Structure 1
Amino acid sequence: MELLDIGQHCANPDCKRLDYLPTKCHYCKKVYCFDHSKPSEHNCNDAPSGDGERVPTCPLCGTPVPIVRGEDPNLRMEQHIAKGCHPPPATVSSKPFNSCSFNRCKERVAIRLTCSGCGKNYCIKHRLEPDHMCDKSKKGNKIMPSASELVTNESKPKSKPKPTSKPTVKKPKKSIKAWFKKIFK
């Protein structure tokens, strides 16, 4: 029989199965069947300790905490915290600089939208001076409608103007030729 010479037996002492497509371990260089091909399946002593395992990171400081194979990661994490885990320092201001300065608005924007009048940062909804009741517009005694009022006013139907008896036509003060000569000197 020629088929008995094809394939190899599994190196695991409990298995010894004849496999026609055996797999060689990268670490111990022994041949195993498909069921025992992974280093964890055949308890490979030559495999590195972190093969296929993730290193946990500290939830307080964000640094990786290395563990030894077989060690409980929770115990190692508790030791790390007890030794003096240093969380990153908190920011100086409680309010981020990209949050809206308008009263009772909690919107945050990715880009600073600074008002040219008062110099404060606002969201897209309150970015215009009339919308956030800017100090500059109050000082000038200008009562300007907000953007939302402008939109509602434009959506209302407009009354038709009364026709006049004679349409007036204004004569241009300067001729077009004189205007072009002035522009393209």
Structure 2
Amino acid sequence: MARRGTEAFPDLGAHCDEPDCNQLDFLPFDCDGCGKVFCAAHRTYRDHRCAKAADQGRTVVVCPDCGDAIERLVPGQDEREILAAHALSRRCDPAKKRKPRCPAQRCKEQLTFSNTQHCKGCGRKVCLKHRFPADHDCAASARAAAGAAAARRAGGECGRGAREEGSGGWALPASIRSLKIF
């Protein structure tokens, strides 16, 4: 069993149980196989040659076509064998790996849950770079903007009509004109 800490701080850290190391480590690792304490250099089963490691860890192989993770059931099993069995099982669907892309022109950004924005005008899902209606050629916002501009022109709210005739300046509301600043 590892000796714990120093004389001044007996609860702080532990010495590595590897016979050649015996380093005082302030963040030691407990092995779940043999129950000994090790430093960062000897924390894995292989590094301290753990004889009681019942579970050497679960490993998976990632299918390059569909992106599925296939667990390696037999230790030392060849990766090609696992992928061949996966392809024959008919669970491999390459269409599942493709993520949707941003519909904006010349944008190649893949849409994920963290970078997707839903446009309220046209209802399309776009990337964050094209989240504004003008950036992704939103048809609904273009029609709304054109209609609003036409309504302003018809109502006389044009910039030329907002000037006062005699003063040469812009018209201010009466409450701001009467404001006194000390």
Tell me which interval the TM-score lies in, with the shorter structure as reference length.
Answer: 0.3 to 0.5
Larger radius of gyration: 1
Using the size of structure 2 for normalisation, the TM-score is 0.38
Using the size of structure 1 for normalisation, the TM-score is 0.38
Bigger fraction of residues in strand: 2
